[in-house]
A = this chain, B = another copy of it.
Amino acid sequence: MNFAVIGGDMRQVKLAELLAEDGHNVAAFAVDKEYMGAGAVTRKGSLELAGTDCVILPLPVMGKEGLLSTPLSSESLTIQDTLFNLPPEAIICAGKIDPATRELARHRKLELIDYLEREEFAVANAVSAAEGALMLIMSETAVTVHNLKILVTGFGRIGKILCHRLWGLGAEVSAYARECADLAWIKAYGYHPVDPGVLDDSLHEFDVVVNTVPARIFGESRLKKLNPGVWCLDLASKPGGIDFIKAAELGVPVLWALGLPGEIAPVTSGAVIRDTIYNILKEEGAM
């Protein structure tokens, strides 16, 4: 098949290389030559996309206002121009599509498929995010994860995988959730369940707290109940789950880490995008 990969960071670079390794024709645009590996991948200045079966736009698709995200390119491309050049018959995938881009595409009668919204992408991304969290815990605290008393708040994708990995490293894992069903899963996997009725009274027990819930779980009152030597990591997207200003006032060390998957493991992330694109193409009957 003929693929075009336009813009993006090291994940898109690796994606292009992986597609080429699988035997596809791949044209990469808006990535400077020095970043692209040797091999079957070609790249050109202007967007010549005739005959392209599938176009892959970056994650997130928009960088600065109105521009395609192209951190590895010395030139810049507007989203409008980019969409204007896309062949309407191609399958077009993009990550984290914002309303403005969505609107521009509708105008051009293009259907954009958001690969960030695919569940399998989100799960695989959570694997990288959880490892990124482990690495931060290892590098930012002066103790081993082994034997660490740790609380993970939230038992969604990242919470589930992070608990699993912490357990594999020998930590004493507690997980907080509100729903009975989540608490049952927490118990089933061998972690200590912390329900809303006991959360406040158990906060002083933990060496490390990792939040994954995008809601203000840790306000002043709970921050005050933490162990004096605690270290906190917030993985939740905006607005985060910890009151950062109060934490700073109280001297509670907090690190807010977003975008871990792309940072810790761009090659794995590129492979995850590839697998997701393949699933999309299969469902669209194009592969």
User: Which A residues lie at the B interface, using CB under 8 A?
Assistant: 10, 14, 118-121, 123-124, 126-128, 131-132, 134-135, 138-139, 141-147, 161, 164-165, 167-170, 180-181, 183-185, 187-190, 264-268, 279
Residue of B nearest to A271 (CB): B143
Distance to closest chain B CB from A142 (angstroms): 4
The 3 A-B pairs of least Cβ separation, nearest first, read A168-B168, A119-B181, A170-B190
From DSSP, what is the main secondary structure of chain A's interface residues? Answer: helix
Chain B residues near A128 (CB, 8 Å)? 144
Q: How far, in whole Å, are A183 and B264 apart by their CA atoms in the complex?
A: 23
Chain B residues near A123 (CB, 8 Å)? 181, 184-185, 188
Q: How far, in whole Å, are A81 and B268 apart by their CA atoms in the complex?
A: 56
Chain B residues near A164 (CB, 8 Å)? 189
Copy tally for this chain in the complex stands at: 4
The residue in A127, A131, A135 that gathers the most chain B C-beta atoms within 10 A of its C-beta is A127
A124 near B184: Cβ-Cβ < 8 Å? yes
Chain B residues near A146 (CB, 8 Å)? 127, 131, 188, 190, 268
B142 near A267: Cβ-Cβ < 8 Å? yes
A268 near B144: Cβ-Cβ < 8 Å? yes
Q: How far, in whole Å, are A279 and B127 apart by their CA atoms in the complex?
A: 32
A268 near B165: Cβ-Cβ < 8 Å? no
Chain B residues near A126 (CB, 8 Å)? 188
- Given known contacts A165-B169, A168-B168, is B181 in contact with A120 (CB within 8 Å)? yes
Distance to closest chain B CB from A158 (angstroms): 11
Q: How far, in whole Å, are A124 and B141 apart by their CA atoms in the complex?
A: 18
